[in-house]
Amino acid sequence: MTDSPTAPTLTSLARGGGCGCKLDPGVLDEILARTPLAGGFPDLIVDAAGRDDAAVYRLGPDQAIVATTDFFAPVVDDPDAFGRIAATNALSDVYAMGGKPIFCLALLGVPVGEVPAETIRAILEGGRAVAEAAGAPIAGGHSIDAAEPFYGLVALGLVHPDRILANAGARPGDALILGKPLGIGVFSAALKRGLLSDDDYARMIASTTLMNTPGADLAELDGVHAATDVTGFGLLGHLSEVCQASGVRAVVERAAVPVFDGARRLAGEGVRTGASGRNWTAVSPLVETPSDWNDLDRDLLCDPQTSGGLLVSCAPEAVDAVLEVFARHGHESAAVVGKIAQGAPTIAVT
């Protein structure tokens, strides 16, 4: 909490929160369509062309550096929790590439004079604690006086060039495994409306601060072909990026997708984020829906996840090993949610 009874809450200072702050995917596509990509650099193994989670640059035959940045407006009012969530989310992109974080830089914006110094220190301390737990200390950073508060990290990691988990490697016949339940966006919307129970708030914090450390171990498994993390564009949005980068079709089984019970109930009562609608508008041309498709399906499968789970494409014979890695890292809800098939880059929901 803030250190002054008159200080505004963090979420009240921001129009959006968490990964729901991302630009509308349709707007982003329009912007990037005319933005030239980096070219002529053979050691730049992964760039923005495939909409992957991070850039990767080859340092030598056995080592490459993973570089990413992520920041957003407060998704909760507790400053320490906000810092921990934002740092966990930023580090996730390194893990999603199969890398191990090595150090970070902090990015901070606050409306000076509105947010007390103790609150700012608590945000930074939350982020520092997470980064150091990942073995990636925060070595510096940058701060500005901003109209709305935001916090995040530049995260750097290392990966073997032959073990990168790019989103372009999915193969027909692969199984799709999701590491965390959906529903964080619904929880966030309910929190702002005063509708989130204490138990569901605790589940939200536990999920968003659970690091995606399985990614580094999954990169060592021969049967793991591709990975991404599910964040602001929702499950269908990020899966569509995998399909387009890999040139494959995906099948998602609605009943198999893990969703927080409280989020499903709240979504059924009409609690949703504006981002879920934007996500659906962007991805719907690629999605085939069943006859009983409804608004609840749409809102949950397009729900913007803050610090969401890894989405892994792996050979069927690797499924047990992948699930074992997830369980060993505390991701007990990981589940097979579909498969990869041959065909145009589309998604069939069953």
Which domains are present in the chain?
A: 10-159 (3.30.1330.10), 174-349 (3.90.650.10)
CB 246 within 8 A of CB 168: yes
Q: Which residues contact 17 (CB under 8 A, 6 or more apart)?
A: 11, 72, 73, 74, 75, 76, 188, 192, 306
For the chain, the farthest-separated pair of C-alpha atoms sits apart, in whole angstroms, at 58
Residues 6+ apart with CB under 8 A from 85: 18, 75, 76, 126, 205, 208, 209, 306, 307
Whether pLDDT at 295 is above 70? yes
Nearest Cα to 78, choosing from 147, 20, 135, 17?
Answer: 17
Q: 13-22: per-residue pLDDT in tens?
A: 876 665 555 5
User: Could you tell me which residues are annotated as the binding site?
Assistant: 22, 50-53, 70, 93, 141-143, 229
Q: Name the pLDDT band for 239 (thresholds 50, 70, 90).
A: very high
The per-residue pLDDT for range 204-228, each reduced to its tens digit, is 999 999 999 999 999 999 999 999 9
CB 41 within 8 A of CB 330: no
Choosing from 19, 104, 302, 314, which is the catalytic residue?
19
54 contacts 154 by C-beta, under 8 angstroms: no
List pLDDT tens digits, range 59-76.
Answer: 999 999 999 999 999 999
Is the torsion defined by CA of 72, 77, 83, 84 positive or negative?
A: negative
Count of beta carbons in the 10 Å neighbourhood of residue 330: 12
Q: Is residue 173 over pLDDT 70?
A: yes
Tokens coding 155: 């995260």
> CA 142 to CA 68: how far, in whole Å?
15
19 labelled catalytic:
yes
Q: Which residues contribute to the annotated binding site for ATP?
A: 22, 50-52, 70, 93, 141-143
Question: Percent of the chain beyond pLDDT 70?
Answer: 91
Residues of the binding site for Mg(2+)? 53, 93, 229
* Number of H-type helices and E-type strands within the chain: 11, 13
